[in-house]
Every structure is written in C-alpha cells, then in structure tokens.
Amino acid sequence: MSDEDQDANRTGEPEEEDNGFQPPKGRFDFPLPDPVSAMPSGTTAGFVALIGAPNAGKSTLINQLVGTKVSIVTHKVQTTRSIVRGVAMHGKAQLVFIDTPGIFKPKRRLDRAMVDTAWGGARDADLIALLIDSRKGIDEEVENILKRLSGQSAPKVLILNKTDIAKGEKLLQLAQKANEFAPFEETFMVSALTGDGTQTILDYFASKVPEGPWLYPEDQPSDLPLRILASEITREKLFERLHQELPYISTVETERWETRKDGSARIEQTIYVERDSQKSIVLGKKGQTIKAISQMARHELSEIIGAPVHLFLFVKVRENWADDPERYREMGLEFPK
C-alpha cells in the first residue's frame, strides 16, 4: 500500500491559521552561533565518546554529566539511534559528549547503521569511555565490545555503572576482568542514576582534554537539532506507552515547527509504522493511546523550550521505512549499503 495514500490520523487541537515557519526560539536555538568570542585564556576542549551495550546507562550518564535532558532514556534497549552531543562546562574545560547507540549484534539494516554510528563516534573522539552495567557484568555482548575496543587508538577509560544496585565485591572482580581485555587508563565506579561518582569523572575528563578554544557556546547543552530532539521525545513516549515490539519498528519525524506570535510552538510530527495493524495499535481504542502519547510529549517539550506547545501527531503507514535512505538521514545516521 502506498504511504502517500494513507490517511494521516491526527491528535492535538483544531487546525489554526498558518503564520509561516520561523526558527524555534529557546535554549536549543539552531544553527549554532560561531564559537564564543569572550572566552577566558587557558581553555581546554575535547570530545568524549560513551560506548557500551544497550541499556548500560549511557544516556542517563550524559544527562547527569551535562545536567539537562539531551538524550532519551527508557527502560527498553536500543533507544538511542543517532549520536547526541551534550556539552558540559567544568572549570575552563569544555567536554563534548557523544552518546552512541548501544553496540549489539546487528540483524537488520537499521541495526547495522546504529552500530556503525557508534564505532564512528568512538573513532573521532579524544577519549573513549566504556560503560558497563555492573549488575549484568561481562556477557557476550560486552566481551565483543571489549575485544574491538583494544584496537581503538584514543585513550580509554572504564566506567562501571549502576553501583547503587551492584555488590561491592562484584565491582572489583568486574574491574579486574575488564582490564584484562583492554588497556584502560582509569576505572571509575558510578551510579548515573543518583549521580554518585560522576563529579570524579568530570574532573578526570577535564584534566585530559587538549588545550584549545571551546567548541560550543558555554550555555549550549546539546547540538542536537531541536526538531530531532522533539522527535526523540515523542519516540520515548511511544516506548513508555507501548510495551510491545512496536516501537522498534516505528520512527518519528518532526515535519513542521512554527513559533506563534504569542511565543507558543505549533509542532507537527509523523509517526511512521510499517503496517496498518501497527497503526491501529498506536492509535488505540478511540484514539486513546495516541492522545496519551501526545499529552506526555507536549508536556515535556513545553518544559524544554519554556513555552506552551501545540502538538499534532499523525500516524502513517510506510512499508519498509527501515530500508529508505531518507529516513536514515532524518535520524542523523549513515545509510549502510
């Protein structure tokens, strides 16, 4: 069935007159301004790639280090699809974090794109930090990452996460075993959830990044385009609401963003699914599911941009969206051949 022929189902408020598109205003304005003019002397700056198996806690840690929400966090695996940068200021150091998709054994084309993106992020970084879920330990997935990691040239550190739910004794054994696989310069133990130990990591990274001008303005928490961030937030709500396989075969795109005269934002997004049956699941009985998703996403978006949001969600069937190069570009991923 042709996707263009599909009816789009919509939630939100009644259609209002279109004022024409204006770039969004708020904390996440884009495009980025030129590097900061009034910069102190002796600054340092660099890229830190966080890698790890799905669900290790990478997004949670970046949000903790940066101090604001820049990457979606859910209890399901493989939620981070594109590279998200969060910028943390620590003294005179600027740390640009790259949150990579969880590294796992790729099965589909989308999986391959995610894994390639993760290793690509690690290649370009000044420092690579491997995050391990300490309660889970070193399983086959982590072992494969550890083996591949030793071939990367950037300095590497090990971060054992989730110390709030792991036993101290196990942590030490884990640190020892992981260090046998790859030459880690340091091992840290943290709880990304509570923030325990994260200041030590910031101190260390700040002491390691090279001298140089800051790469982003001081008050810019993320370089993730606002539209992608908005899509990620709605996708996060899809995950939270639908405890089935569905979210893995859906994608969200922000098609339109308009700032109204009163400062509020009117946002139109499309949720793409692969089949009619999936569309019915997203809509729910009498549209209840999509309404709930819309409400949650609207609330969070409005908190982030600091202005009221009018969110309109459309659900479209696009067979094989996961094989369409255009969808990958929208997600900031390379299309694997």
Ligand X SMILES: Nc1nc2c(ncn2[C@@H]2O[C@H](COP(=O)(O)OP(=O)(O)OP(=O)(O)O)[C@@H](O)[C@H]2O)c(=O)[nH]1
Q: What residues form the annotated binding site for GTP?
A: 52-59, 99-103, 161-164
Measured CA to CA in angstroms, residue 249 lies from 12, 97, 291 at distances of: 23, 27, 20
Q: How far is CA 111 from the centre of its chain?
A: 15
134 near ligand X, judged by CB under 6 A: no
- Give the residue, chosen from 13, 124, 139, 164, that forms a contact with ligand X under the rule CB under 6 A: 164
Judged by CB under 6 A, which of 161, 234, 270, 278 binds ligand X? 161
* Residues in the annotated binding site: 52-59, 99-103, 161-164
With tokens 């922000």, the residue in question is 254
Question: Is residue 59 a contact residue for ligand X (CB under 6 A)?
Answer: yes
Task: Pick the binder of ligand X from 6, 11, 44, 78 (CB under 6 A).
Answer: 78
Give min distance, CB of 88 to ligand X, in A.
Answer: 16
Q: Taking Cα atoms as reference points, which of 147, 96, 146 lies closest to residue 125?
A: 96
| Binding status of residue 193 toward ligand X by CB under 6 A | yes
Residue 125 CA, chain-centre distance (Å), reads 17
Residue from 6, 44, 55, 231 that binds ligand X (CB under 6 A)?
55
Contacting ligand X (CB under 6 A), which of 43, 74, 144, 295? Answer: 74
Three-state DSSP class for 289?
helix
Distance in angstroms between the alpha carbons of the first and the last residue of the chain = 25
Q: Which of 75, 107, 261, 337 binds ligand X (CB under 6 A)?
A: 75
Interaction of residue 162 with ligand X, rule CB under 6 A: yes
> What is d(CA 238, CA 258) in angstroms, rounded to the nearest whole number?
23
Say how far apart CA 193 and CA 337 lie, in whole Å. 37
6/60 with CB nearer ligand X: 60
Closest CA to 253 of 304, 303, 324: 324
Question: Given the rule CB under 6 A, which residues bind ligand X?
Answer: 52, 54-60, 73-75, 77-80, 101-102, 161-162, 164-165, 191-193
